[in-house]
């Protein structure tokens, strides 16, 4: 980065119960690309947080709301989500969809509007997913990707890119060198959108 322009902030949200699982490895490649483009990257291990399910109480949607009524670790995460210019969401495929840890996080993002005016505006998103099957359709990865597409289309937050691949065993994603390079390139694109932005 040059001059006084602040480095873009990327928040990496890891949705696997394994800190060094395949989806986390893939996300770290995105982070490497983002850092090489001048970004600062912070990682959040969702499994290590206490995040309760949304209660559907709608306290966060009421006039003059003071935020989400659930007092847990999401309270500290909301300001980080707002402050970051970009999010990287990484999840393994569990039972034909995203992990429970990732789904809890996504559901609780419903309350973000209580903390800032239009907090999703201009937020740039990258998705990293891994699965044990040989195919993104039969594994259910396609279901998870569609979930992200629908959610971020609704919030008008552009998904800059999605990287995903088969990794039946722990660390197997490292064998897919082409995918790792693609993930690193996505990280650079995530924080270097080019002219016109």
pLDDT tens sequence across 133-148: 999 999 999 999 999 9
pLDDT digit string (tens) for 46-55?
A: 999 999 999 9
Considering the chain, what is the average pLDDT of its residues?
A: 94
Query: Which two structure tokens, joined as six digits, stand for 61?
Result: 């949607």
187: DSSP letter: H
pTM over 0.75: yes
Q: In terms of Cα–Cα distance, which of 92, 101, 84 is closest to 42?
A: 84
Residue 6 gets which letter from DSSP? P
Q: Is 97 helix (H, G, I), strand (E, B) or coil?
A: strand
For 13-110, where are the alpha helices, taking DSSP H only? Answer: 22-36, 74-83, 100-108
- Distance, CA of 156 to CA of 190 (rounded, Å): 16
- 84 vs 90: CA distance, rounded Å: 16
What per-residue confidence (pLDDT) applies to 192?
85
Per-residue pLDDT of the chain (197 residues), as tens digits, is 445 578 999 999 999 999 999 999 999 999 999 999 999 999 999 999 999 999 999 999 999 898 999 999 999 999 999 999 999 999 999 999 999 999 999 999 999 989 988 899 899 999 999 999 999 999 999 999 999 999 999 999 999 999 999 999 999 999 999 999 999 999 999 998 654 44
CATH no. for 9-191: 3.40.50.360
Q: Which of 13, 15, 17, 26 is nearest to 171 (CA)?
A: 26
Residue 67 to residue 111: CA distance in whole angstroms = 7
pLDDT at 126: 98
Domain layout of the chain by residue ranges: 9-191
Lookup result for tokens 């996300």: 27
Q: What is the dihedral of CA 59, 65, 68, 71, to 10 degrees?
A: -100
Q: Which residues pair with 44 in a beta bridge?
A: 13
Can you read off the two tokens belonging to residue 36? 């090489």
């Amino acid at each position: 980065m040059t001059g006084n322009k602040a480095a873009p902030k990327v928040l990496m949200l890891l949705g696997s119960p394994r800190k060094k699982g395949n989806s986390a490895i893939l996300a770290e490649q995105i982070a490497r690309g983002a850092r090489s483009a001048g970004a600062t990257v912070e990682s959040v291990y969702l499994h290590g947080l206490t995040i309760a399910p949304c209660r559907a109480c709608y306290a966060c949607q009421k006039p003059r709301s003071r935020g989400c009524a659930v007092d847990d670790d999401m309270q500290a995460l909301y300001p980080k989500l707002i402050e970051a210019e970009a999010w990287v969401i990484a999840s393994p495929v569990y039972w034909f969809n995203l992990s429970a840890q990732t789904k809890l996080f996504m559901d609780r993002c419903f309350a973000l509007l209580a903390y800032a005016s239009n907090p999703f505006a201009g937020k740039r998103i990258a998705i990293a997913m891994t699965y044990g099957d040989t195919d993104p359709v039969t594994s259910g990865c396609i279901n998870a990707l569609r979930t992200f597409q629908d959610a971020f289309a609704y919030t008008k937050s552009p998904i800059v890119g999605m990287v995903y691949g088969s990794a039946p065993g722990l660390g197997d994603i490292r064998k897919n060198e082409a995918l790792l390079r693609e993930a690193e390139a996505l990280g650079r694109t995530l924080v270097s959108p080019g002219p016109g932005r």
